Structures are given as structure tokens and as C-alpha cells.
């Protein structure tokens, strides 16, 4: 299968998911002990304290902690893979990207990575803590940031930044400043789309998703309609409300998070993801807002105006379908496989997220009813 | 007198809500989230339990009806014909299989037919297959959305 090399390697490991022993959520004391062993090697004399779990999120185990050294306290965030994550990603690649993005868009500063799980029980990365919230206080309990309601005031403060940061990511000059561990899909014009589609198609096979006719139709439609990519850019891969932090008082975005699905590809892929209906909101007038920030056409035209790029409606239609196909794979195959194998720390969340399956099936049916081009 | 499923689930929900959850320390964020999700899951399962078998039987009937319509309408070369034969067998087997295994087998056979038809379906066969699947799935999906509506995700 034509797929980026790094995923050929990680998929080989994922194929044995049924043989892995169950994974249990790490306890604060266990994390403290492993951090102490890690820093005994990396920063002798430093003391670890205040280890506490970070709530929210559906993919990684995350802990805040304080590191004291030479009379100074520094706060850090540990991100560690569970036994089996909801998607297949690479901590070292995410680390590389965060370093590259420093100064381009607001990102957490990296500190250490243990990609080969030399010290930690799973692949792990440590970052400096960034202040901010992922959703407004009092916005209620929302699973994994889906459909977060920002409201008119915060929307007005965030929307230009949200757009400008996305455009800055797409404008990153990866040819002048190459990204280690990122392959370039330039063998033919369709390779970028094919790599992305094959990534999710392969995950579906590995995790033994149970098919239904609309999924089968979407799978074949995507295989038959791969678009050309004329302009390869860095894509974030999971750019949406819920995956950035902002200061509630000023409305300033303080960090873009969750870069683990970033790759070199087609900017339409990020646009399609932003426009995914489940990540947006519908207000009392029935108006849909992508990520509760922009109406669909407004987002597209504003992206074109600010970036100078043109948005192909046909290509965007492909990535609209692919976005919902990805979501379908995540909730109906990846999450359920992780839960079935007891290889994740949040089985009950993953099976709850499985309840979104009909939403994505409905979106696929609506999109495919439009034919090859919207 | 024996406890019903509903009474058993209700007692578990109450124990989690009123005994376990209030005693979790504020810093146990993951435990709090997991208990709240568990309560939500159980409450939805309580509400669905009496309709579960009917829902699953109807689901299989819908997929089998689609599969039969595809068998009647789609033609093609050797790959398509082999997939049609396998689909006809899956439909026949579904009458005696457990309902979930039958649903899986029928849908896998439809999946194989979609791929085969793309390879050597007769002229117009793909359009017919697409139309039948979209029509039938539009109806089926509305039932699934209603079933999963209590999860609170579906606001579209």
C-alpha cells in the first residue's frame, strides 16, 4: 500500500493489537516514579512534585508536574501514549513539528521526548505548560471539544486568529526548512490524497471496523476520485475548536495543540476538517458555524482572500467526504478496537464516542448524494 | 420475586451517582469523568433495553432488503457475478444465523459487491448500485440517528 514510511512501521506494530495485554490508566504515584527515574538521568538533582492528571481529551494520557532545580520551579506537561491510541501517531514527529512551528504560530515549547519508551511505559513527550482554556468556562461538559459553543463575544475575538494561524501553517516553507520524519508525497499529483486516504483505509482494516453499505460506497468513491494536489503544504490534520488554547480575558490564542496528524499534503484537507459539521454548531436560527467561528461560505471566501490561495470546490468536496470518512474510521473502528482490546485508559469514553457513528454515516450519505462534485 | 434488568441497572446508576461520585476527590478528574460517562451509558442502555431486539431485527431486515434489491438490479463480469453469488448466499444464511452475525455477513458481502462492481460492473450497474444504497441508507441512518440521539451528539 502506498503510504508514508513512518506509518508503514507503526502500522506493523498496531497489527498485533489483539495480542497485547490490557492497559490500565497510570496512577499519579506511578507517573511520579517514572518521572523521577527519567530526570535522574536527564537532569540529575532535579525534584519532581505536584503530578496531577489533566482531564479531557480522548487520545493521550496527560499529566501536569513541577520540576524543581537550582531553586527554580518549572511547570511541565507530560503527554504519553496509552497502550493503544485512538489514532496511530508518532511523538518524535510531533516534537519535531512543534519546534519548527515555534515562532510561526503559538505552540507549546518542547522539552524532552522519549519516543522509544526507554524510560516511560509508552512513547512520551514533555512540554512546557501554556496557560489558556480549550473552551469557555461554563460552556458545559463536551466530549473531546466536539461542538464547542464559543458565543458571539469570544467568536469575534478568536475567528481572525484562527484563520491567520491556519494560513501561517500552510505557508510554512518546508522546502527551505525540511521537517525530519516527514516524507514528501510528490511521486505523482494524486499521491498526497492517496497517502491520506490509505492511512485511514489501512487503519480501518487493521482495527477490523464493521462495514455498512454507505461506508463501503464512500470507500470506493474516495478511491475513484482522488484529486491532484498542485501545491503541497504543511497541514495540521486536526485543526478545530477544542484543539487550541485561548486566554479567556483577552481572547488571544495561546497555543495550537494536537499536531500528531500533521503531514505534507493538500490545504483543502484542513479546510474540509474545519468544516466538518460535528465540530461546528447550529444556532437558534439554524445557521451552521464551522468550529462555531465561521459560516461555511464565509470561511472559504475568507481563507481565499487572506491566503491568496484558491479553493477548488471539487477538491474540497473530496476532502469533505474524506473528513467524515476519517471520523467514521476513528469512532467505528479505532476507538472501538482500543476499547475491545482494553488497551486504552478511556474505554468508556471511546464506546460513548461510538454513538456518533450515525452522524458521520448521515454526512457521508448527504455528501455522496451530491455526486462527484458538489 | 427476582430483580428485573431495569431494577438492576437503576440500582447501579444510583450507587454510582449518589455513593461513588460524591466521594471522589476533586483531583481525581479521570475517575470523575469515567463515572459520569458510565452513568450516562447505563441510563441510555436502560432506556433502550426493551427495544434492543426489535431494533436489531429491523436493522437486519433493512440490510437484507437492500442486499436483495442489489442482487436483482446489479449485473456484471466475473468479479461482480461472484460477489452477487456470495451476497445471495449471505442473504440465505441470514435466516438461520444469529442476528448480529447475519448483519455483519450481509454487509460484508455488500461491501465486496461495491468493490467488484467498480472493477467489472455492467454499464449502468454502478449508478444503480449507488442509487439503491443511498436511498436505503438514508432511511436506515435516520433510524440509527434516533437510536443514538440520547448520546447528545446529533444536533445536525
Cross-chain residue pair A348–B37, CB shorter than 8 Å: yes
pLDDT at A101: 97
Number of Cβ pairs closer than 8 Å across A and B?
A: 113
A56 CB neighbours in chain B (<8 A) are: 33
Is residue A345 over pLDDT 90? no
pLDDT, tens digit, for every residue of A106-161? 999 999 999 888 999 888 999 999 999 988 887 655 555 567 889 899 999 999 99
- Predicted confidence band at A21 (pLDDT cuts at 50, 70, 90)? confident
pLDDT at A10: 82
The whole-angstrom separation of Cα B57 and Cα A1 is 38
For chain A, domain boundaries:
5-9+25-128, 143-368
ipTM of the complex: 0.95
A278 CB neighbours in chain B (<8 A) are: 153, 156
The whole-angstrom separation of Cα A243 and Cα A241 is 5
Extract the residue ranges of chain B whose pLDDT is less than 70: 156
pLDDT at A373: 60
Q: Which CATH class, in words, describes the domain spanning A143-368? A: alpha beta
B102 CB neighbours in chain A (<8 A) are: none
Residue range A195-223: average pLDDT? 96
pLDDT at A333: 92
What mean pLDDT value characterizes chain A? Answer: 91
pLDDT at A102: 95
pLDDT at A372: 67
CA B2 to chain A, closest CA, distance in angstroms equals: 29
For chain B, domain boundaries:
5-51, 52-148
Cross-chain residue pair B138–A359, CB shorter than 8 Å: no
pLDDT at A59: 73
Closest partner residue to B114 (CB to CB) among A210, A220, A282 is: A220
pLDDT at A137: 83
Complete DSSP assignment for A68-91: EETTEEEEEEEEE--SS-SS---H
Is residue A335 over pLDDT 90? no
The region of weakest confidence among A125-139, A230-244, A257-271, B99-113 is A125-139
Cross-chain residue pair B114–A213, CB shorter than 8 Å: yes
pLDDT, tens digit, for every residue of B80-118? 999 999 999 999 999 999 999 999 999 999 999 999 999
pLDDT at A140: 58
B99 CB neighbours in chain A (<8 A) are: none
* CB proximity A286 to B under 8 Å: no
A212 CB neighbours in chain B (<8 A) are: 63, 107, 137
Interface test with A, best of B102, B111, B116, B153 (most A CBs within 10 A): B153
pLDDT, tens digit, for every residue of A287-322? 999 999 999 999 999 999 999 999 999 999 999 999
pLDDT, tens digit, for every residue of A61-99? 899 999 999 999 999 999 988 877 667 677 788 889 999
The whole-angstrom separation of Cα A290 and Cα A73 is 40
B30 CB neighbours in chain A (<8 A) are: 25, 53, 55, 345-346
The whole-angstrom separation of Cα B38 and Cα A352 is 9
Contacts of A72 (CB under 8 A, 6+ apart): none
* CB proximity A345 to B under 8 Å: yes
Per DSSP, A345 falls in state S
Count Cβ atoms below 10 Å from residue A142 Cβ, excluding itself.
17
B144 CB neighbours in chain A (<8 A) are: 357-358, 361
Contacts of A94 (CB under 8 A, 6+ apart): A125, A259, A260, A262
Residue range A323-342: average pLDDT? 91
Closest partner residue to A358 (CB to CB) among B107, B110, B145 is: B145
CA A331 to chain B, closest CA, distance in angstroms equals: 12
Q: Which CATH class, in words, describes the domain spanning A5-9+25-128? A: alpha beta
Is residue A251 over pLDDT 90? yes
pLDDT, tens digit, for every residue of A49-70? 999 988 766 678 899 999 999 9
Global confidence as pTM: 0.94
Amino acid at each position: 500500500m502506498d503510504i508514508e514510511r513512518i506509518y508503514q512501521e507503526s502500522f506493523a506494530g498496531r497489527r498485533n493489537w489483539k495480542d497485547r495485554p490490557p492497559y490500565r490508566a497510570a496512577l499519579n504515584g506511578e507517573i511520579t516514579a517514572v518521572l523521577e527515574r527519567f530526570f535522574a538521568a536527564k537532569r540529575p538533582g532535579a525534584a519532581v512534585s505536584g503530578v496531577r492528571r489533566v482531564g479531557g481529551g480522548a487520545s493521550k494520557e496527560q499529566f501536569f508536574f513541577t520540576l524543581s532545580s537550582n531553586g527554580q520551579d518549572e511547570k511541565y506537561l507530560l503527554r504519553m501514549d496509552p497502550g493503544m491510541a485512538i489514532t496511530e501517531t508518532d511523538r518524535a514527529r510531533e516534537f519535531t513539528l512543534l519546534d519548527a512551528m515555534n515562532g510561526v504560530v503559538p505552540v507549546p515549547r518542547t522539552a524532552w521526548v522519549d519516543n522509544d519508551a526507554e524510560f516511560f511505559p509508552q512513547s512520551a513527550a514533555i512540554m512546557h505548560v501554556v496557560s489558556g482554556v480549550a473552551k469557555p468556562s461554563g460552556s458545559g461538559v463536551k466530549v473531546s471539544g466536539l461542538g464547542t459553543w464559543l458565543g458571539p463575544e469570544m467568536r469575534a475575538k478568536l475567528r481572525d486568529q484562527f484563520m491567520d494561524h491556519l494560513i501561517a501553517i500552510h505557508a510554512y516553507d518546508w522546502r527551505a526548512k525540511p521537517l525530519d520524519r516527514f516524507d514528501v508525497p510528490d511521486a505523482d499529483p494524486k499521491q498526497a490524497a492517496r497517502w491520506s486516504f490509505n492511512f485511514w483505509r489501512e487503519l480501518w482494516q487493521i482495527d477490523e471496523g464493521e462495514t455498512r453499505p454507505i461506508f463501503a460506497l464512500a470507500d470506493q468513491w474516495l478511491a475513484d476520485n482522488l484529486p491532484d494536489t498542485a501545491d503541497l503544504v504543511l497541514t495540521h490534520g486536526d485543526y478545530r475548536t477544542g484543539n487550541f488554547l485561548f486566554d479567556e480575558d483577552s481572547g488571544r490564542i495561546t497555543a495550537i495543540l494536537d499536531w500528531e496528524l500533521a503531514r505534507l499534503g493538500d490545504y483543502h484537507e484542513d479546510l474540509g476538517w474545519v468544516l466538518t459539521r460535528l465540530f461546528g454548531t447550529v444556532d437558534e436560527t439554524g445557521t451552521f458555524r464551522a468550529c462555531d467561528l465561521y459560516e461555511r461560505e464565509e470561511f472559504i471566501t475568507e481563507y481565499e482572500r487572506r491566503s491568496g490561495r484558491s479553493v477548488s470546490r471539487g477538491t474540497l468536496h473530496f476532502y469533505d467526504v474524506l473528513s467524515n470518512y476519517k471520523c467514521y474510521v476513528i469512532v467505528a473502528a479505532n476507538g472501538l478496537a482500543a476499547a475491545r482490546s482494553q488497551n486504552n485508559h478511556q474505554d468508556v469514553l471511546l464506546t460513548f464516542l461510538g454513538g456518533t457513528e450515525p452522524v458521520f454515516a448521515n454526512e457521508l450519505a448527504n455528501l455522496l448524494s451530491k455526486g462527484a462534485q458538489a | 420475586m427476582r430483580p428485573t434488568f431495569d431494577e438492576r441497572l437503576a440500582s447501579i446508576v444510583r450507587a454510582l451517582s449518589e455513593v461513588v461520585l460524591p466521594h471522589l476527590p476533586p483531583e481525581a478528574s479521570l475517575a470523575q469523568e469515567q463515572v459520569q460517562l458510565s452513568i450516562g451509558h447505563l441510563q441510555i442502555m436502560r432506556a433502550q433495553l426493551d427495544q434492543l431486539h426489535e431494533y436489531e431485527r429491523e436493522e437486519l431486515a433493512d440490510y437484507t432488503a437492500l442486499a436483495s434489491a442489489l442482487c436483482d438490479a446489479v449485473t456484471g463480469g466475473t468479479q461482480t457475478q461472484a460477489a452477487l453469488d456470495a451476497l445471495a448466499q449471505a442473504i440465505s444464511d441470514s435466516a438461520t444465523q444469529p442476528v448480529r452475525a447475519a448483519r455483519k455477513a450481509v454487509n460484508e458481502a455488500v461491501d465486496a459487491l461495491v468493490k467488484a462492481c467498480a472493477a467489472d460492473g455492467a454499464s449502468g450497474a454502478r449508478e444503480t448500485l449507488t442509487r439503491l444504497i443511498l436511498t436505503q441508507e438514508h432511511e436506515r441512518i435516520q433510524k440509527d440517528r434516533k437510536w443514538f440521539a440520547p448520546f447528545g451528539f446529533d444536533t445536525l
